[in-house]
C-alpha cells in the first residue's frame, strides 16, 4: 500500500518563482491521485475549470480553490467518499441551491458572497458543517436560518465592501440563540483607514451568552460605541480578542466580569479617534481574572 500524501500544495511554484501552469497542475495531481489527502490550488489565475483529474483522487478530503476564476464546483468533487472540506473564496462562483444540496456532507466550508449575490436558504442542508467562514459584501444579509446548522462549532464572518460604505448595523440571526455546539465566533470588517462597520453588540452578546458551549470571541475593525458593556454577559468566555475597535469608555469595566478568561488580547489602531476612550491605566488584570494565562495589549490609548 502506498503511503498517503498529506498535502499537495500547488498555489505557487517557488522553484520558478511563478504560478503553476494548468498542464503542470494536472500532471502533479495525476502523480498522487491515489494517495493525496489535501490539494491546494488557490490563487491560480488560469483555473477557470476544476481539473477533472481531481475526481480520481479517491482519498481526497480537502480542496482549496480560493482566489481563482472558477465558476462551478463539479458534482464529482462532492461525490468523493472522504471529501469533507472546501475553501472556495472565489469572485465568480455560482452559488445555486444545487451547490448547497451537493455540499451536504461537508464539515468545513469557506465561501465568498459578492455584491448582488445572496446566500441560499439551502445552506441549512449542510447539517454536518462544523466550521463555516463567509467572506461577505457589506450589502449582503445573512440568512435567518443560518443558526439551524446545529453541528456548527466555529463561525467566521469577514465583511468587505467596495466604494462608499452605506451605514448598516451588523447583527447575528436570531436562529443562533441557544445553539448547542457553537463555541467560537470571529467577526471582522476589512477596510484600511478610519471607517468601521457598526455592530449591534448588545444583540450579539445576548445570543452568544445563550449558547452553552460558547467560549471564544474575536472582533476586528468594528464600531461598538458604549455597548462594549454587553461583553459582561459572556461569563463563560475563555478567549477574547478585540482588534482596532472604535468604542467609548473603558472596556476593562466589562472584561472584569469574565472570570473564566484564559486568553485576552486587545489591539489598538492609529486611525481610531481616541477622544471618547477612557483608559488612563491598566487594571490588575491577573488579579481580577484568576484563570488568565495570556494577556496581550497593543494600543494607542493608554
| HSE-CB for 280 with a 13 A CA cutoff | 0
- The more confidently predicted of residues 177 and 168 is 177
Q: Are 214 and 238 in contact (CB under 8 A)?
A: no
CATH of residue 190's domain is 3.80.10.10
The residue whose grid cell reads 451568552 is 209
- Mean of pLDDT over the chain: 87
Per-residue burial over 150-174, b if 16 or more Cβ lie within 10 Å, else e, is eebbbbbbbbbbeeeeeeeebebee
Distance between CA atoms of residues 121 and 108, nearest Å: 18
Residue 84 belongs to a domain: yes
List of residues 6+ apart from 47 with CB closer than 8 A: 22, 25, 41, 65, 68, 69, 70
Distance between CA atoms of residues 243 and 283, nearest Å: 19
Distance between CA atoms of residues 220 and 266, nearest Å: 10
Residue 64 belongs to a domain: yes
Work out the number of other CB atoms within 10 angstroms of the CB of residue 117. Answer: 16
Residue 83 belongs to a domain: yes
Distance between CA atoms of residues 251 and 228, nearest Å: 6
Cell numbers placing 14: 517557488
Q: What is the dihedral of CA 41, 46, 50, 52, to 10 degrees?
A: -100
- The more confidently predicted of residues 142 and 279 is 142
Residue 235 belongs to a domain: yes
Query: Tens of pLDDT along 132-142?
Result: 999 998 888 89
- The more confidently predicted of residues 235 and 94 is 235
DSSP H helices, the chain, are 22-31, 75-79, 97-102, 201-209, 252-255, 285-288
Residue 159 has pLDDT above 80, yes or no: yes
Q: How many domains does the chain have?
A: 1
Residue 111 belongs to a domain: yes
Q: Are 111 and 135 in contact (CB under 8 A)?
A: yes
Q: How far is CA 78 from the centre of its chain?
A: 22
The residue whose grid cell reads 445570543 is 207
Distance between CA atoms of residues 17 and 30, nearest Å: 22
Residue 1 belongs to a domain: no
Residue 273 has pLDDT above 60, yes or no: no
Confidence of residue 64 (pLDDT cuts 50, 70, 90): very high
Distance between CA atoms of residues 272 and 296, nearest Å: 19
The gap between the terminal CA atoms of the chain, to the nearest Å, is 61
Q: What is the pLDDT of residue 275?
A: 47
Name the pTM for this structure: 0.92
Confidence of residue 153 (pLDDT cuts 50, 70, 90): very high
- The more confidently predicted of residues 64 and 257 is 64
- CA-wise closest residue to 224 among 243, 201, 203, 244: 201
Residue 243 belongs to a domain: yes
**Owning domain of residue 95:** 8-298
User: SS3 of 242, please?
Assistant: strand
Residue 2 belongs to a domain: no
Residue 167 has pLDDT above 70, yes or no: no
Amino acid at each position: 500500500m502506498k503511503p498517503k500524501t498529506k498535502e499537495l500544495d500547488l498555489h505557487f511554484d517557488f522553484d520558478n518563482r511563478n504560478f503553476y501552469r494548468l498542464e503542470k497542475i494536472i500532471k502533479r495531481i495525476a502523480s498522487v491521485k491515489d494517495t493525496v489527502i489535501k490539494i491546494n490550488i488557490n490563487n491560480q489565475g488560469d483555473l477557470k475549470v476544476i481539473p477533472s483529474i481531481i475526481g480520481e483522487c479517491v482519498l481526497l478530503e480537502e480542496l482549496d480553490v480560493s482566489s481563482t476564476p472558477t465558476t462551478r464546483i463539479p458534482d464529482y468533487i462532492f461525490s468523493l467518499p472522504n471529501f469533507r472540506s472546501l475553501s472556495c473564496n472565489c469572485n465568480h462562483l455560482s452559488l445555486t441551491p444545487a451547490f448547497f444540496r451537493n455540499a451536504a456532507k461537508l464539515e468545513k466550508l469557506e465561501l465568498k458572497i459578492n455584491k448582488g449575490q445572496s446566500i441560499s436558504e439551502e445552506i441549512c442542508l449542510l447539517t454536518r458543517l462544523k466550521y463555516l467562514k463567509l467572506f461577505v459584501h457589506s450589502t449582503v444579509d445573512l440568512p435567518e436560518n443560518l443558526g439551524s446548522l446545529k453541528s456548527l462549532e466555529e463561525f467566521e464572518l469577514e465583511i468587505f465592501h467596495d466604494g462608499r460604505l452605506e451605514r448598516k448595523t451588523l447583527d447575528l440571526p436570531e436562529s443562533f440563540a441557544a445553539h448547542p455546539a457553537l463555541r467560537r465566533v470571529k467577526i471582522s470588517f476589512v477596510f484600511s483607514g478610519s471607517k468601521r462597520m457598526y455592530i449591534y453588540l448588545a444583540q450579539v452578546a445576548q445570543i452568544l451568552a445563550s449558547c452553552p458551549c460558547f467560549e471564544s470571541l474575536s472582533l476586528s475593525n468594528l464600531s461598538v460605541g458604549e455597548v462594549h458593556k454587553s461583553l459582561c454577559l459572556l461569563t463563560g468566555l475563555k478567549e477574547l480578542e478585540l482588534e482596532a475597535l472604535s468604542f467609548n469608555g473603558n472596556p476593562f469595566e466589562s472584561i472584569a466580569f469574565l472570570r473564566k478568561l484564559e486568553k485576552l488580547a486587545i489591539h489598538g489602531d492609529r486611525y481610531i479617534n481616541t477622544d471618547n476612550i477612557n483608559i488612563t491605566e491598566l487594571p490588575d488584570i491577573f488579579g481580577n481574572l484568576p484563570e488568565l494565562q495570556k494577556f496581550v495589549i497593543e494600543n494607542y490609548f493608554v
